[in-house]
Amino acid sequence: MKTPTPDDFRRSQADIIDRNNPQSSFRTLRDTCPVMESGGITYLLRHDDIDAALRDPATFASSGRAALGNTRPRIPVDIDPPGHLRYRKILDPLFAPREMARFEPEFRALAHRLIDGFADRGSCDFASEFAVPLPSLLFLSLLGLPLNDLPLLLELKDGVLRPPADNTADHLARMADRILQYFERHLGARDSSEHSTVISRILSAEQDGERLTHDEVLDVLFMFVLAGLDTVTASLECFIVHLARNPQRQAQLVAQPDIVPSAVEELLRWESPVPFVPRRATRDVTIGGVQIAAGSSVGMFLGSANTDEGSTDHADVVELEREPNRHMAFGRGIHRCLGSHLARLELKVALQVLHSRIPSYQIAPDTVLQWHAGNRALDELPLVFPTGAPA
């Protein structure tokens, strides 16, 4: 059975989901074909089916999925039990809420500096001037990587996640190899005194008296650069598009800054910037009357689960003060997003600082948004807003 490539997943999603209004697509599919096949991939759309599958890694495995040019597994996302637990025990403490909270002052200062660059202009490309550099620079600082390397790392990340239309497997392999070569050079030139960075702590961390091997460290860092330089950027772009189209919600955040944490959760639920996760069926299984053969690729639409009326009251309404909010934007089960606490901090600070400085904004007239498949991201997001905003 042929394993689908990342391009197969992108094309399949493009065929079935309206990227400008995915919630409507999800609603239609849940009502008509909640377990469906497209491009050799079986997709699940109902909350309960996805929840059960993500909690069953023995049946729906993360190993053996479509590769992103890598020949070794991406750690920890491509590792199944029992080996998965070893990696999470090493990595989870590095991204715990208390650890991430230490970076909040630095992050707020960076957000203000970026806004200083365009607040008096009355316009900006929110993508390139805020959504990309804000989380990316913090992430490089957290890892202890040179900030000047950001353009290179973004080029490599995009080369893997958003390759050109005529890309080949060789292209992905070259880009993945360049990422590994970058980290090989960094580890070789690393100052041993950099004890407080995430990379240094990964190198020194032990589980049952054993440290990660050199190759395991590279595989962790390969995963980090793909996730850390993309998902929060995509989330910010989704959030701001939604808020720009709903000025009453902008005003609500300006008037009630204390609700920003719950607003982050609700916008994650509604927008689901990472709309799906792939898995591989390890045995024959039947879901919703549809047979899924062992070895089949399965795509789980988190965005559909998050807007499923069968699991959430008023799921088709955005309620910025919704509590509780048990969304799946960070996944579920053992592979729940390692960086969720960092992402929450970044998104909270970004919305608080942005709305304190620029309380009213809209998408520039005549803009046609061009959403990427995969993570719901944009190359450009032009905004306009009144000058003389609060300092």
The total of structural domains in the chain comes to 1
Q: Which residues pair with 286 in a beta bridge?
A: 291
pLDDT band of residue 158 (cuts 50, 70, 90) is very high
Answer whether residue 356 shows pLDDT above 90: yes
Could you tell me the pLDDT band of residue 390, with boundaries at 50, 70 and 90? low
**Amino acid 4: pLDDT:** 67
CA 229 to chain centre: 9
Angle at which helices 247-255 and 260-271 pack, to 10 degrees? Answer: 150
- Per-residue confidence band for 19, with pLDDT thresholds at 50, 70 and 90: confident
pLDDT attached to residue 309: 94
pLDDT band at 191 (very low <50, low <70, confident <90, very high): low
Residues 326-336, mean pLDDT to the nearest whole number: 96
Q: Which of the four pLDDT bands, split at 50, 70 and 90, describes residue 195? A: low
pTM of the model: 0.94
The reply to whether 390 falls in a domain is no
Average pLDDT over residues 19-39: 93
389, part of any domain:
no
Is residue 1 domain-resident?
A: no
* Residue 98 maps to a domain: yes
Residue 39 lies in a domain: yes
- pLDDT, greater one: 87 or 71: 87
d(CA 320, CA 263): 4
What is the CATH classification number for the domain harbouring 282?
A: 1.10.630.10
- Name the pLDDT band for 391 (thresholds 50, 70, 90): low
Residue 331 belongs to some domain of the structure: yes
Amino acid 116: pLDDT: 97
pLDDT band at 384 (very low <50, low <70, confident <90, very high): very high
Could you tell me if residue 391 is inside a domain?
Answer: no
Residue in the structure block whose two tokens are 């600070």: 349
Residue 334 lies in a domain: yes
* Closest of 220, 222, 183 to residue 90, by C-alpha: 220
Q: What is the mean pLDDT of the chain?
A: 92
d(CA 361, CA 86) in angstroms, rounded, equals: 46
Q: For residue 381, give the 3-state DSSP assignment.
A: coil
Instruction: Report the distance separating Cα 79 and Cα 85, nearest Å.
Output: 9
Q: Are 257 and 352 a contacting pair, CB within 8 Å?
A: yes
Provide the strand spans (E) within the chain: 35-38, 41-44, 60-61, 123-125, 206-207, 210-211, 276-281, 285-287, 290-292, 297-301, 362-363, 382-384
What b/e string do you get for 13-30 counting C-beta neighbours within 10 Å, with b at 16 or more?
beebbeeeebbebbbebb
Confidence at residue 151, expressed as pLDDT on a 0 to 100 scale: 97
Average pLDDT estimate for 149-169: 88
> pLDDT tier at 216 (50, 70, 90 boundaries)?
very high
The pLDDT-based confidence of 172 (bands split at 50, 70, 90) is: confident
**The domain containing residue 203 runs over which residues?**
6-384
> What is the spatial distance between Cα 327 and Cα 262, in angstroms, rounded to a whole number?
12
Residue-wise DSSP of 19-40:
TTSHHHHHHHHHHH-SEEEETT
What CA–CA distance (Å, rounded) separates 130 from 237? 9
Mean pLDDT within 78-86: 95
Q: In what order do the strands lie in the sheet with 123-125?
A: 123-125, 382-384, 362-363
Res. 66 pLDDT band, cuts 50 70 90: low
Q: Which two tokens stand for residue 209?
A: 């008296």
Collect all residues with Cβ–Cβ distance below 8 Å to 298 and sequence separation of at least 6. 41, 42, 43, 44, 53, 60, 278, 279, 280, 281, 292
pLDDT at 73 > cutoff 70: yes
